[in-house]
Structure 1
Amino acid sequence: MFSGSIPALVTPFRDGALDEEAFRAFVDWQIEEGSSALVPCGTTGESATMTVEEHNRVIAICVEQAAGRVPVIAGCGSNDTRIALEHMFAAQAAGADAALVVAPYYNKPSQEGVYQHFAHLARHCDLPIILYNVPGRTITDIGVPVQHRLVSEFRTIVGIKDATGNLGRVSAQRLACGPDYVQLSGNDETALGFNAMGGRGCISVTANVAPALCAQFQALLAEGKWDEALLVQDRLYPLHDALFSDSSPGPVKYALSRVRPEMPVEVRLPITWPSASSQAAVDRALEIAGLV
């Protein structure tokens, strides 16, 4: 259902507010450059500091502007199951193709609690769900047995964005959930190995800045052209690294200020503009990738 290079879109803010015109232009550019789907309101989109109204508006704009050219996977996560369900209803009403739902954060639920969270969402809304497992941010892991249980019981649990950094999980999840389970890497730097073990693509930070290169990279992987893909990986790896040289999405917004200077790139507190050393790392990486 979903594959290839899928940017977790940044949200352009100008004078503290969503810049709708800039966001529409950014969506068009991403599609024209070869991105295969779009994720509004993810971590990179600063969803944690959006109001509910802003959150819903960003998703609605993305769906409207994409106009069916590529699927839209709407960020719908919350540590409150009720709020996550409300996000899903709003995303479904807007016409999103699926919901990306992060594991409940801060609460530290048990594995039974994690299961019940996603089960509740699947029982009450039939929008397809892509689980989002990022223990480095949430503390909570969506264990393989929980994934197996969810996939076995609910047809709308269709895949996972795996940002554990543990490539062995790709095989474990494939064996537990079947070959049709859509596994998308949540880490750009390990996307090559992730696909080699059964993944289908990457929900990417780097694709915000280098959409054509990331799309080319994923296309080569899909064609089994591993040697050629490795060459692209070598071009992109310094950028993958540099975009996390300070708190994200600070560095990726700085990179966009170099690649698309017309785009507003404000960040919202508690995220701050990246340090001078981070900016220097991004500058070097953009040069290596041939983007400036």
Structure 2
Amino acid sequence: AVKESSGNLEQMSRILQLTNGRLALLSGDDALTLPVLAIGGTGVISVAANIVPRDVVAMIAAFQAGQHGEAVRWHERLLPLIKALFLETNPIPIKTAMGMLGMIQPDMRLPLCAMSEANQARLHQAIEAYGLFKSAAGTKARGAKAKRKSDT
């Protein structure tokens, strides 16, 4: 397998032609996952899947099942969130997003630094628009309920 992050679909197509199906081509760019699948790629090394794994899988599964309209709908839903996850150098935005969702402590080690306040606001808005804060609150509530139940 090869992770292709050039953003050049012509180059990716050429790789697939030259390897004649002997090489799995994975998108290294979340925003290009669906176009890469359309030219014969097999998946993605995803940043977005750290916070929306089911949605990334749903898009790929829909495409692979021949439900291209459904795959396009997932792609269009994911794009604004993906754009926000690349407002700054990776992995700063994804760690910040995971911190906002209570998944991790978003500590950065040099040479990385905290995301700018303006971009944090944009990222927060994208996460909120996607509905992830509601999901995270529900997950936390279910976890707390399970913990209380296990304490009895």
TM-score bracket, shorter-length normalisation: 0.7 to 0.9
Cα shift readout 1:121-174 (whole Å, capped 9, x = no counterpart): xxxxxxxxxxxxxxxxxxxxxxxxxxxxxxxxxxxxxx2100000011221011
Structure 1 stretches lacking a partner, 5+ long = 1-158
Partners in 1 of 2:126 and 2:60 — Cα distance? 20
Q: Contact (CA 8 Å) 2:108, 2:114: kept in 1 or not? A: yes
Shift of 1:200: 0.4
Q: Contact (CA 8 Å) 1:184, 1:202: kept in 2 or not? A: yes
Query: Secondary structure of 1:199's match?
Result: coil
Normalised by the size of structure 2, how large is the TM-score?
0.82
- Does 1:271 find its partner at 2:112? yes
- Does 1:291 find its partner at 2:128? no
RMSD: 1.2
Shift of 1:263: 1.9
> Partner letter of residue 36 of structure 2?
F
Q: 1:208 is matched with which residue: 33, 50, 69?
A: 50
Match in the other structure for 1:229:
71
Q: Kindly indicate which of the two structures has a greater share of residues assigned to helix.
A: 2
- Does 1:164 find its partner at 2:42? no
Q: Percent identity?
A: 34
Which contiguous aligned blocks of 4+ residues in structure 1 show a shift greater than 6 angstroms? none
Match in the other structure for 1:244:
86
Normalised by the size of structure 1, how large is the TM-score?
0.44
Structure 2 stretches lacking a partner, 5+ long = 134-152
Partners in 2 of 1:264 and 1:284 — Cα distance? 20
> Partner letter of residue 291 of structure 1?
L
Q: Contact (CA 8 Å) 2:92, 2:115: kept in 1 or not? A: yes
Q: 1:255 is matched with which residue: 97, 102, 114?
A: 97
Cα shift readout 1:36-56 (whole Å, capped 9, x = no counterpart): xxxxxxxxxxxxxxxxxxxxx
Match in the other structure for 1:181:
23
Partners in 1 of 2:106 and 2:67 — Cα distance? 35
Match in the other structure for 1:63:
none
Q: Kindly indicate which of the two structures has a greater share of residues assigned to strand.
A: 1
Query: Secondary structure of 2:45's match?
Result: strand
Partners in 2 of 1:251 and 1:262 — Cα distance? 13
> With CA pairs under 8 Å and 6+ residues apart, which has the higher RCO, 1 or 2?
1
> Partner letter of residue 69 of structure 2?
D
Partners in 2 of 1:235 and 1:198 — Cα distance? 22
Shift of 1:262: 4.7
Partners in 2 of 1:164 and 1:263 — Cα distance? 30
Match in the other structure for 2:149:
none
Q: Contact (CA 8 Å) 1:247, 1:272: kept in 2 or not? A: no
